[in-house]
Homo-oligomer: A and B are copies of this chain.
Amino acid sequence: MSSMETDAKLRLIGVVEKSGREESRLRVFSEFCAGLKRIEHFSHIIVLYWAHKRDNPEERKVLLVYPKRHAEKTLMGVFACRSPSRPNPIGLCIVELVKVEGCTLTVKGLDAFENTPLIDIKPYIPRNDSIPDARVPNWTSRGPPT
């Protein structure tokens, strides 16, 4: 298998309609809206978005970064930090699901800009997804969470 670009085609399933320090609003496009059925059974969701501002050849070539907003200068691979500059500018954020109204989700804790396209939403299931004692380097405990 080669590393060439692939036929794998992303579809945009929605958009960050409003991004706030407290609450943000996600709008799922009407043709995908049925996919939200019973999502309110979950208190938290995993939001995958396309960091479109980083979708250019230069940013997608970046493989090493000094994680921003962290004082310590440790050069990290992009797969070892949450930099939005990476081969596929996919952002991942776990947020609290506050409210569901039709195709619109109100969430708390989103780190994406307004107008960012959404590519997937998944329920957060602690049995799979919560590892409270995972080991991390010290710098991850300072500055903003992502």
A120–B35 contact, CB under 8 A? Answer: no
Task: Name the residue among A36, A45, A126 with the largest chain B CB count within 10 angstroms.
Answer: A126
Main secondary structure of the interface of A (DSSP, over half): mixed
Instruction: Name the residue of chain B whose CB is nearest to the CB of A89.
Output: B8
B15–A11 contact, CB under 8 A? Answer: no
Residues of B within 8 A of A46 (CB): 92
Contact of A88 with B123 at beta-carbon distance under 8 Å, contacts A38-B74, A129-B94 already known: no
Listed in ascending order, the chain A residues whose CB lies under 8 Å from chain B are: 1-15, 28-29, 31-32, 34-39, 41-46, 48, 50, 52, 55, 60, 63-64, 74-82, 86-88, 90, 92-94, 115, 117, 119-137, 140-141, 145-146
